[in-house]
């Protein structure tokens, strides 16, 4: 992917994040969205934090497009942190990822 292609997908992913953040969400979801951020080198372009009774999560988007997603379940006595990397994101896939992170814990975690 060339430099111009990265710029285009960065804008598209940012628009998808902002559109998702401005839309309806599951009740109980607290949301912080930071971006677009000045991103020299390997710094993130967007950071999305979600806090819910059933999950705390953070999505950090980098140029590439690449995202790291970290989450844990605060209901667990000793919560394990989960970390995933996601490559080749599209506006649709990042929206689906955010929806999964914000989904009700009973559905997402099988509780």
What pLDDT, in 10s, does the model give residues 74-93? 888 888 899 999 999 999 99
pLDDT score of 108: 43
Structure pTM? 0.86
Bond before 59 cis per omega within 30 degrees: no
Which residue do the tokens 């975690």 mark?
109
pLDDT in tens, the chain (111 residues): 556 787 889 999 999 999 999 999 888 899 999 999 987 778 999 999 999 998 999 999 998 789 999 999 988 888 889 999 999 999 999 999 999 999 875 444 443
Task: Mark 17-45 as b/e (b = at least 16 C-beta within 10 Å).
Answer: beebeeeebeeebeeebebbeeeeeeebb
CA distance 34 to 54: 22
pLDDT of residue 22: 96
């Amino acid at each position: 992917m060339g430099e111009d292609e990265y710029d285009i997908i960065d804008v598209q992913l940012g628009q998808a994040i902002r559109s998702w953040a401005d839309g309806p969400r599951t009740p109980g979801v607290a949301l912080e969205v930071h971006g677009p951020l000045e991103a020299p080198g390997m710094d993130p372009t967007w950071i999305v934090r979600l806090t819910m009774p059933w999950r705390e999560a953070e999505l950090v988007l980098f140029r590439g497009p690449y995202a790291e997603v970290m989450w844990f379940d605060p209901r667990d006595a000793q919560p394990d942190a989960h970390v995933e990397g996601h490559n080749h994101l599209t506006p649709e896939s990042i929206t689906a990822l955010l929806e999964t992170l914000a989904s009700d814990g009973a559905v997402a975690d099988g509780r």
